[in-house]
Amino acid sequence: MGMTELGTERATAVPHGSAGQQRRRVIKASAAGTVIEWYDFTLYGLAAALVFGPLYFPGAGSLAGTMAAFGTFAVGLGARPIGGLVFA
């Protein structure tokens, strides 16, 4: 018995929807991903403005405590691109 040849037919992808439907799906998925990604930073920014200053920096004045809380926010925001470069 010799080798048998396989057929030369190739499988082709069947589109599941029109280009407009696929584009809307991609836009919705990327928007949902962006919302989830920035949700924690939005909450932390609100908490830094309203809660963290007096809570974590009680000895500082009102403005200085809020600025210190926003400083920790800035460090986290600045570390994201560096982490992206390191872990990419």
Q: What are phi and psi of 4, to 5 degrees?
A: -100, 145
pLDDT (average), residues 7-20: 69
pLDDT score at 76: 86
pLDDT score at 19: 82
pLDDT (average), residues 9-17: 66
Q: What percent of the chain has pLDDT over 90?
A: 39
What is the rounded CA–CA span in Å between residue 44 and residue 75? 12
pLDDT digits (tens, 9 = 90+) for 52-78: 988 988 888 889 999 999 998 899 888
Q: What is the pTM of this model?
A: 0.56
